[in-house]
Amino acid sequence: MDSLRSVVETVALLSATALCIYLIVVLARLKEVLILIQKDLSEIGAKAKPVFENLQVITEKLKSVSGKIDDQIGLVRGSLESVKNAADNIVAFEQRIQDSLEEPVLRLSTMVAAFVNRIASYFGGAKAQ
């Protein structure tokens, strides 16, 4: 029984040793994989940095362009407002001129018509006599 026990212990120790050696090999391969992953991530980081810098430049240019577009829209709005104000002023000026001239012209035409009627009636009456 002691010999069986020592055989089992020896087999168990050999199995544990084999397991430890296998674990060491697996850890070594894992280390290599992690080193490759680290290199890949470093390369990705190195290649991504210029992309992010370009993206930042593009973003700044877009902000600048959008600011200029906003300025131009403001100018167009101001111009349209000026045109609208000028049109309103012209309409108001026309209304003032019409209000100031319409009544005197109507009075003058009424007076001229009355004068012509009186002259016509005078000459018409003079012919009848």
Confidence at residue 86, expressed as pLDDT on a 0 to 100 scale? 93
11-61 pLDDT, tens digit per residue, is 999 999 999 999 999 999 999 999 999 999 999 999 999 998 999 999 999
Q: Who has greater pLDDT, 126 or 84?
A: 84
124, pLDDT greater than 80: no
- Taking the alpha carbons at both ends of the chain, their separation in whole angstroms is 177
Greatest Cα-to-Cα distance within the chain, rounded to the nearest angstrom: 177
pTM of the model: 0.47
62-103 pLDDT, tens digit per residue, is 999 999 999 999 999 999 999 999 999 999 999 988 888 888
